[in-house]
Structure formats: structure tokens, C-alpha cells
Structure 1
């Protein structure tokens, strides 16, 4: 399974990099929150200096509010900027699945792992193609269907597109050769949301 962040953005080609898309989506889709640079660096598995450079550019453009609390720099979306609302809508359609599902799924009881796969993961991995029309998620674990349905509904509301969640047991995931679909998912580009390194 491919989990490596690509150098160019196929989800939103206007952006310089997928990191910028992930960072902006996370901040804009959680507008009530402040995030420290070390916290963001850990979340996206990059250096603090990489996050700091992006933060400087976003703050200069007035897209994020940057403030210091002691020696800790905090970022949050800048709601006064008229570009933030439409930009948030675009980010929800492109990089939103990472920000929304990585926030919702860890709270689902019994969930061990979760992966984005299908057309969204293919675009994220750099494969050319049309924008994804839906979001496909594979979850691993002993999860109640109603909990998954609730998470899918919440994600669909935030992302403005269908979210399809496919559940498999940990045993099925460990021995995918029994299921051609799981073999295909493992061989295809995928993005780890919960429980596995990106």
C-alpha cells in the first residue's frame, strides 16, 4: 500500500504541494481550534521547519492567524479573510477526507485501522484522473455498523460527497488472499488514517 506523500498535488493542482493541502484543510476544517507547530509537524510527519515555512506563507497571505503564547506559535483559520470560506469549501472537496475522517474515525469503538482507497487515494498518490466523486474508506476491526454509519453521515455532511465505508475483521485483513477485493486494496494506493504509519 502506498502511503508516501507525493511532491505535486493531483487533488488540487493549484497548490504547490500535498502538505500545503493537508495543512490548510486541517486548519480550515477545524476553525475553532488552535494548533501548535510541533503538533502539526507530528500530525503530518514532517519537520517543524517545513510546517513553519508553510505557516509563514499562510500568515502573510492572511489565511491563518498566527499568535505566540510564550515560546509556542499557534495557528488557526482567519475567519475575517473573505477567501477562507470558499477556500474551505474547495479544501473539503479535495484534502478534506484526511482532515475530517482522521478526526472522526479514532473515536469509533473497536476500530483498529482505517484507510482511504479508490479514486481519492489514487489522486493523492499522484495518479492523473478526474476529481473523485466519492470517498472510499476501509476500516479494520470489530466495529458496530451503526457507529460506522454515524461516522459516514457526519463525514458526508462536512465533505459534501458520499462516503462509503467498507468494514473487515482484523483476521480478514491479515489474510487478504482469501478476498480478491482486499488483495486489490492492498496493492492499490491507499492513505492510512488510523492505526498504521502513512
Structure 2
């Protein structure tokens, strides 16, 4: 049921949001010269997939977890995209392709060894990663790997259709700050 909802919402979001996506893309061209950001992430069953987002940091920023990146790397337009969570919109493509869900654990990087181990320990890789979830709306990010893995496992074990919609609504209305960047 959730995969069907993911597909319907992602398809609808991409079609209806196309003018907004194009506008953000064009503005991003002027901001960084490269508006889309592609990065290998850990997916379901620890299979790699390429996550796509709008670029919020300068092109020369190191490929590290957000909490390890410097806030000086974030562009002015990138700051706006992060605050409004519009940088996440291209991930609807990942959802449409079945690599992600709208709700699930945020996909980590392969170089986040402690997070990989904790998520393996708690069985988090049995599901598709998501754009949002319990950890995101609870302001738990990848800087606390064990707590994040525990929260992800709790969400996976108890996820209902009601929770699915609740996490999406909370994200859209601004609850949670997502991954924090150090100052």
C-alpha cells in the first residue's frame, strides 16, 4: 500500500511541481552553475543508489555528512532551499524509481561507518530509505548514529498509514530542522 502511495504522490508531485522544479533549477544555475547534486547513498539492503537533490552548497564542498560540513559552504539560495525543504523535491524521482520512499530512514553515506554498523544492528536496511521520517521530525540527525538507528528502527516497527501521512504533514509544515550544519 505504501509503495503505491509513494508512486502516486511522487508522480503527481513531479508533474504538478514541474514549473517550480524548473524555476529552482534555473535559479540554481545562477547560484552555483550546477543546480543538481548527485551522491551515492546507502539504500535498501545496503545497495547503493544515486540520490538527487538541489545543490545547497558550493560545488567544491567535501562529500561528508551534513553535520560535518561547514555552514560557510551553504550558498544564499541554498540556505533558502534548506529552510523551505525545497532542496528535497528532486528526490521524488528517487521515490518514483522505487529507490526511496516518502517516509523512511534518511539514506546515509557509505563513509559513515558508525551509522552503517548501528543501522545494520537494528535492521534499518530492510526498508527503503525515505525523504522524511520520525527522526527528521524529532530533530535527530546523523551526528548521533545510535540514537538515529534506534529511532529509525522504532519507526519501522510501528509505521502505520496514519504515521506515514503525519510525518509527511509535519515535514511540509516545517517540523524538524533536518540535518544540521555546524557553524
Higher relative contact order (CA 8 A, sep 6+): 1
Q: Which has the larger radius of gyration?
A: 1
Q: Which has the larger share of helix?
A: 2
